[in-house]
Structure 1
């Protein structure tokens, strides 16, 4: 089972890296449900059985009602690549649609998330607090503590690894574009980690009142209106990083050659075929 933020982040980046995340997600369909605490929490047997049943229900719902909408999304993305017609406005539209899809899933799973969280005992909540603290410390050590230049180089390297399965080897100008993107983000990791920690604290605060009236409203805010918890600095950084991702996508496609575009289109077509062949759509 996979993690709080696994869902349509796969569509959310919309850049070529977003396609990679989509591909990875559908290798294991259960990664579509973002509300499991399996990374942080040891559920007991009854909770696991309950969770598996709910997970199956949500996956059926997602496959039958949401997945069909991804097929025309992929078609339009592929067409834009083939015709070299993608621009910032088109990418914004695709990103907005991805965010709407993520929002629909968040609404769908909120009642189950409320029920799961209400089942936690005090020890599980305490363990969750410890696990969250370890998570933030680990991410800080890996992404924030290193010198900024090291962060930038690692960010660029990770992006190149995500892009190569879709475009093949990048040309020197494309590598320079990735480097420019990585440098443009600056201290993005620090600001994003602060927002992550803020969200985790809000969840723990809500869990302290999990059996009181209004808990469902607090969970709905955490899952459906996360932006209401974002500090101003993160809202600005998120908008900036999204714009940078679109800019990088357009620049890489502008610099792409026919072989790279052919490889990307082939991968998109293969991904679409895999989606369309899922049993729930037939």
Structure 2
């Protein structure tokens, strides 16, 4: 992992989650993809990793830095005390699903359960984020907007200005890497089947970009309104922040079901041995998460 190689290393993750939770969820997912051996070390670094990621967006002053670091440390303590067992349960469930065939409805139910854990994280983190966000200056909001514009330009270059063939190649490379981390090496025939399923999906880059912009606009509106707020209104703004998060997670039912079906379709082309590999990998992650307590 190279997240700590620079004092303000620029990251390319999207900012659809308000303030802290999305990136932490992404980082936790990255820990899984990095492998069991790195899990313990990287998990304990999450507050620091999250701080530098947030600082890229807002360029905190010394007072804000202390507030944000203290908040992240508090959330990390809570997470370690309360969330590792639920994560283990989720991974056990995924392991059981991976060992056999499953339906799109089962996949969606698992995603819903994972989203509930993320929502619990937001509920804990939002009240701690508000005091620091209330002290943002106009210059810091300009810095945030400039950084968002930079990330959006990169996204457009990869997704919108690319040809359909280039977009498919980008999605295929990403999908194959993710699948092979769990199932092991795929055959050429399996790779072709993955490509066929991706090419037949109704993914629209312009629609995804519009959604991205809408989520960013909601968060920017919240950041603008919370600036200068006093302690008496912090609870209300924390609830609003949770609402921004929930809105960002709402997908049209048809899109949601399509994504779940795609997971099923990918799993269906795997051999029994590959499914067993995925099941064992997920079970090992579950054990490692529980060992962090």
Q: Structure 1-normalised TM-score? A: 0.80
The reply on whether 1:206 has 2:205 as its aligned counterpart is no
How far did residue 85 of structure 1 move? 4.2
Query: Over residues 36-69 of structure 1, what are the superposed CA-to-partner deviations in whole Å (9 max), with x where a residue is unaligned?
Result: 6233221122222221121111011112112211
1:196 aligns with 2:196: no
Aligned residue for 1:70? Answer: 87
* Secondary structure, counterpart of 1:251 in structure 2: helix
Residue aligning to 1:42: 59
Instruction: Give the alignment partner of residue 163 of structure 1, picking from 179, 200, 211.
Output: 179
Counterpart check, 1:256 vs 2:270: yes
Deviations 1:223-257 (A, max 9, x none): 43445479xxx843xx4443333223222332222
CA distances 1:103-132 after superposition (whole Å, capped 9, x unpaired) = 111111111221121121221112112111
Equivalent of 1:265, from 279, 282, 290?
Answer: 279
Alpha-carbon shift at residue 155 of structure 1 (Å): 0.6
Contact 1:144/1:189 (8 A) holds in 2: yes
Q: Look up the SS of the partner of 2:56 in the other structure.
A: coil
Runs of 4+ in 1 over 6 A off after TM superposition: 21-26, 32-35
Shift in alpha-carbon separation, 1:229–1:275, aligned structure 2, 3 A? closer
Residue in structure 1 matched with residue 7 of structure 2 by the alignment: none
Residue 105 of structure 2 corresponds to residue 113 of structure 1: no
Look up the SS of the partner of 1:145 in the other structure.
coil
Aligned pair 1:6/2:23, yes or no? yes
Aligned equivalents of 1:25 and 1:191: distance in 2? 35
Could you list the per-position Cα deviations for residues 182-220 of structure 1 after superposition, in whole angstroms to 9, with x for gaps in the alignment?
224444332222222222222323333322476764553
Runs of 5+ unmatched residues, structure 1: none
- Residues 237-279 of structure 1: per-residue CA shift (max 9 Å, x gap): xx4443333223222332222331232123112212211111x
Higher RCO, 1 vs 2 (CA within 8 Å, ≥6 residues apart): 2
Residue-pair matches, total: 269
5 Å matches for 1:1-282?
Answer: 4=17, 5-8=22-25, 20=33, 28-29=42-43, 31=46, 37-82=54-99, 84-209=100-225, 210-212=227-229, 217=236, 220-226=239-245, 228=247, 235-236=251-252, 239-278=253-292, 281=293
Paired with 1:128 and 1:38, the residues of 2 have a C-alpha distance of 10
Please report how far the alpha carbon of residue 101 of structure 1 lies from its aligned counterpart in structure 2 after TM superposition: 0.9
Mark the runs of 5 or more structure 2 residues left unpaired by the alignment: 4-10
Structure 1 Cα separation of the partners of residues 147 and 93 of structure 2? 41
8 A Cα contact 2:68 2:129, kept in partner = no
Contact 1:110–1:219 under 8 Å retained in 2: yes
Cα pair distance change 1:65/1:111, threshold 3 Å = same
The 8 Å contact of residues 177 and 248 in structure 1, kept in 2 or not, is answered as: no
Query: C-alpha distance in 1, partners of 2:175/2:50?
Result: 23
Q: Is the 8 A contact 1:11 1:95 kept in 2?
A: no
Distance 1:101 1:243 in 2: 20
TM-score, normalization by structure 2? 0.77
Distance in 1 (alpha carbons) for counterparts of 2:31 and 2:254: 17
